Each structure stands twice: as structure tokens, then as C-alpha cells.
Chains A and B, each alone.
Chain A
Amino acid sequence: MTIADVRDILNAFVITGQELLDKEVHNACGSDMMSDVLAFVKDQSVLLTGLVNAQVVRTAEMMDMVCIVFVRGKEPGEDIKKLAQERGIVLMKTPLRMFPACGLLYNAGLRG
């Protein structure tokens, strides 16, 4: 699926990276612990998290992830948006909580 599909499935709002929505994604990871995200490299492309700070973007950068979804409607600050823009990472927010957000994406074919 594409990042645009992720947005539609999660009823999400794209915060930065509108121009990157046609990128393909195959895997996702849901976690608030960045070290756990860093522990398993599997070409995960989407990171779902309830954590909102600059290290989320840095973690995604290290892992070559292309899209971060903030769950529970969390809104990142300007510094985070700027960093994501510089690194070519899409930021979006969904009103959904972590569990249903992951479940919907899994049902639609994304894997862990």
C-alpha cells in the first residue's frame, strides 16, 4: 500500500510530507519505546507511536522509515515538523488509539 492508503485507513491528517504520499510501504512497527524500535530492523516503513519528541524522528531516520503516525491525535511541535521535513519523513496524526490503528493496518496487509 502507499502512505496515502495508510492515511485513509487511519482517517489520519497529514502534517508534513504531502508530496511523499505515493511512496510504497510494506511494514510497520508500533511502540513508544524507541530502543525497542531500534532493536528490530525489518525494513519497517511506518512507525506508529504515542511518543512525541524529536527522538521519534531520529529513530525513524536511523531505521530508514518513511512515515510516522502519531496516535490519539497527538500534535508534534514545530521543531519536530521541521526535522521530519528535512529528513523526508511523512508525519501524520490519527484520532485512533495504538491498538486499533495497528489492527486496521495489519488487516489491510501491512506486516510487522
Chain B
Amino acid sequence: MKLHFEVPGDDFTRAGEASGELKRKLKRLGFDPDVVRRAAIAMYEGEINMVIHAGGGVVDVEILPDKITIILTDYGPGIEDVDKAMQEGFSTAPDNIRMLGFGAGMGLPNIKKYTDTLNIKTEVGKGTVLTMTVLTNKQA
């Protein structure tokens, strides 16, 4: 099953709508609650990042019995130093984002923590593509 979501870049209150939808869909499909939660949290952090840094983007999800693949694509400023961005506590988010409960430098580290693979393709000035997978521990 394939899903496609648009993440609007101008409305912080709507960030997470797509992840919530994915979560409900995975639950209905009967995936293990831990798998559902890991996929939803990882995508949610990705969505928040898109809204904070990149003016929104698109998310494509492929759901297979053994693996959930989530691809987040944006045309934002790109990540200058991926190693730094992967460190807990490193953030380039502006102060107004911290007032909203994010920007603690936990986004990418959380994504890495909850996914089984994470690939970051980024180019400064062009955008970023995050490809992440969550294994479902189910027989294919």
C-alpha cells in the first residue's frame, strides 16, 4: 500500500496531521503497537522539521507486511552539517520554535532511534530527502 501526504509549510498547528493519519492507518492494518508508534513518531519528527526548516514538503509511505518505508522530501535550505544535526541537543531552530515545544535538537536523533534504517540525502540550497524504514518483525 502506498500513501502520499502534503505537509503545508505555513501552518505549524497542522504539522503532525499526516503522521496521525499514518498512525491510525497502521493501527487499523493490525501492526504491532510498538511498530506503529515507532513509525508515527519518526514521521512526526520529520514533519515538524519540514515545517520548521523547509517550508513544508511531501511524504511518501510504502507499507509492506515486513517493512514500512517513509520518504520525506523538501525543497528547503538543506542541512549544512549532517553529523552535527545528528547530535542530540544541536539545533538551528529559531527561538520562536522553542516556544512551541520543539527545536531542542532531538528531531533527527529521535528519528534515528526509532527507525531501523535512516538515509539522509541533502544539498545546501536545494533540499533534503530523508528515507527511513521501520521493520515490522512480521513474516513477509
A→B interface (CB under 8 Å): 32-36, 38-39, 41, 49, 51, 53-56, 58-59, 61-64, 79, 87
**From A32, A39, A58, A63, contact of B37 by CB (8 A):** A63
Q: In the complex, which residues of chain A have a beta carbon less than 8 angstroms from the beta carbon of B101?
A: 32-35, 49, 51, 53, 55-56, 59
CB atoms of A35 and B102 under 8 A apart: yes
Interface of B is mostly: helix
Would B104 and A36 count as touching, CB distance under 8 A?
yes
User: Total contacts A to B, CB within 8 angstroms?
Assistant: 74
Of B13, B40, B103, which one neighbours A62 at CB under 8 angstroms?
A: B40
The answer for the CA separation of A59 and B107 in the assembled complex, in Å, is 13
Chain B residues in 8 Å Cβ range of A32: 101
B31 proximal to A (CB < 8 A):
no
Chain A interface, DSSP helix/strand/loop, else mixed: helix
Contact A62 B102 (CB under 8 A): no
> Are A53 and B100 touching (Cβ within 8 A)?
yes
7 tightest A-B CB contacts, nearest first: A35-B106, A58-B16, A34-B101, A54-B13, A35-B104, A51-B101, A33-B104
User: Which residues of chain B are near A51, meaning CB under 8 Å?
Assistant: 100-101
Q: Are B12 and A55 in contact (CB under 8 A)?
A: yes
